[in-house]
Structure 1
């Protein structure tokens, strides 16, 4: 059954109802004082009853807390393994526009839409949030139509208009259209694994995190990596290779700020998602051995039993020289980000 829509109050100030040709921006001219309209309204999304609405948690900030903490010494019941395809149940991933607001940017204005990504599976009721404007949705749509013309030919997208972009009715209609648009394109695996789709949702966070990691600003990189991880887990599934790479980056960051307890949890999650190299029917993950070596060091520092990790390491390397010849986890993480993001400026 579809997730109930929410009715969320939002204050929207409108200084000029006439937009520029760029659709989502408002250019103010010399006679801007002649047109000043200010009012507030409510953005409505086919709301449930008042009683049901009262039970709906209000989202006030992006939740960057990690939701899979666990102990490296506990035998995991997670049967998820490293799957190169990263397939998930697309019908269980929902997209909702939970708010919209006008934002001033110098002499222009635009509407910023907050998109919540929720996976209606198991006990996962948390939301991963991004904020995007119409022009960013439009760029995504144009790029996907150019790359996948056959897949995208029957997918509707809210058209540009010359005027009325800041009207409550226009904002509400676009919000519903964006929800339907994202839900539709997400059903196509080629689309949801494309660089264009990844750039729209989480690659910009990974690019920022990469810059922080390269200059040793690990504390600053952590919340950005956590937000990217939250989105990746919703959109790709918890055992996808990209998720494992981001988990590894968080292990590196927490180790460098001497927060072994957090590094311990993220290392456990990453290792639970990787199958051993000794299983010939599954593709090897290059992060496995470096993660095991790092996890063993963490357990040694915090006094945890590391014997099961040492046994797993011995099963996946030929000898001590083989283990030591593998790149360190930090080197692998930086190499991964260098291959997926532009160099820092």
Structure 2
């Protein structure tokens, strides 16, 4: 029985720190935009995500002066700041596809120190353009005066143009991060996760769950930086991760994230999200039993839901419930 984690289940922030503090170290050298002109087929997103853990880490310096220490003390009480940065770009050449540039976007939530585990995705110019056009179409007043890097007929692989476009993309994303309506928009949600989610669903349909897990974990950690703990998109991404990692035959990862999901589901009343709560509890009962943890508190929750008239018996598995939900989208 895992007493430490069982106790943390009632421990709110301690549980958050335990799980999210264990995320893979993907710190990138900050402030260095690099360009790769080596042609080659675009690596699969899951393999590309795994490769980020090998990138040289940024160095967080220690301050000794009185002025710097006073500034650090003041920063402790400041709200974490959402940051977007294009950290690299590479040219991609695939068969039957025009040569293009892929931009690596790092999303951080900096507090007292820079975020040690930023989320990273790769996008091309057309992805940023689709985001910009969608926001300008649906929120014209909020997008007034926000520029966007222009299209060019030739020279789009030129390093100077790539650098200028990267700066323009950062300005756009920083603006989105400051505006609640833009941050909650479907256009941004699609930009952040659609490509990785589509690939993950492909692997899940092929029952190659181990290939889908890195993609789903990256989506969850990214959305977790932009939205609240109990935001529908964050909870859905978390449930997907739990279900898929459990189907992949893992134990440590689904246990950690299942603990987190159970905690975050407390006080949730959104009917679309509650459809996953019973399957989540039932998965955890089986997982807890396999790990030698006390499953009785979870069974008690299910009994309570049953007494309140909520369907408990005959429910689909968490993986099936999510698959059905995705098919209806």
| TM-score of the superposed pair, with normalisation by structure 2 | 0.70
Per the TM alignment, residue 271 of structure 1 is displaced from its structure 2 partner at its CA by 0.8
Listed as ranges, the gaps of 5+ residues in structure 1 are 16-58, 65-88, 341-345
Matched residue, 2:42: none
| Closer/same/farther in 2, CA of residues 134 and 276 from structure 1, 3 Å limit | closer
Mapped contact 2:79–2:111 kept (Cα < 8 A)? no
What per-residue deviation string (whole Å, max 9, x for no partner) do you get for residues 67-93 of structure 1?
xxxxxxxxxxxxxxxxxxxxxx99721
Alignment of 1:111-130 (within 5 A): 111-121=101-111, 124-130=115-121
Contact 2:279 2:317 in 1 (8 A): yes
Q: Does 2:287 match 1:262?
A: no
What corresponds to 1:300 in structure 2?
A: 289
Residue 144 of structure 1 corresponds to which residue in structure 2? Answer: 135
- Summarize the Cα distance change of 1:174–1:153 in structure 2 as closer, same or farther, 3 Å threshold: same
Match of 1:99 among 88, 94, 98: 88
Partner of 1:309: 298
Q: Distance in 1 between matches of 2:37 and 2:312?
A: 61
Report whether the alignment pairs 1:203 with 2:194: yes
**Which whole-Å CA distance do the structure 2 matches of 1:187 and 1:265 have between them?**
31
Q: 1:104 to 1:268 in 2, by over 3 A?
A: same
Distance change (3 Å), C-alpha of 1:319 and 1:283: closer
Q: Distance in 1 between matches of 2:253 and 2:212?
A: 14
Cα distance change, pair 90–97 in 1 and its aligned pair in 2 (3 A): farther
In the aligned structure 2, how far is the partner of 1:213 from the partner of 1:272?
26
3-state SS in 2 of match to 1:96: strand
Q: Note the residue ranges of structure 2 that are not aligned, 5 or more in a row.
A: 1-28, 40-48, 55-77
Distance 1:219 1:142 in 2: 35
Q: How does 1:164-175 map to 2 (within 5 A)?
A: 164-175=155-166
Q: Which protein is richer in helix relative to its size?
A: 2
Aligned residues: 265
- Which of the numbers 328, 333, 337 marks the counterpart of 2:317? 328
CA displacement at 1:304 relative to structure 2: 0.7
Q: Larger C-alpha radius of gyration, 1 or 2? A: 1
Q: In the TM superposition, what is the alpha-carbon distance from 1:128 to its structure 2 partner?
A: 1.1
What TM-score do the two structures reach when normalised by structure 1? 0.67
CA contact (8 A) 2:208 2:248 kept: no
Give the whole-Å Cα distance in 2 for the aligned partners of 1:333 and 1:253. 10
Instruction: Choose between structure 1 and 2 for higher RCO, CA contacts under 8 A separated by at least 6 residues.
Output: 1
Equivalent residue for 1:225? 216
SS of the aligned residue for 1:159 comes to coil
CA distance in 2, matches of 1:60, 1:216: 20
Cα distance, 1:298 vs structure 2: 0.8
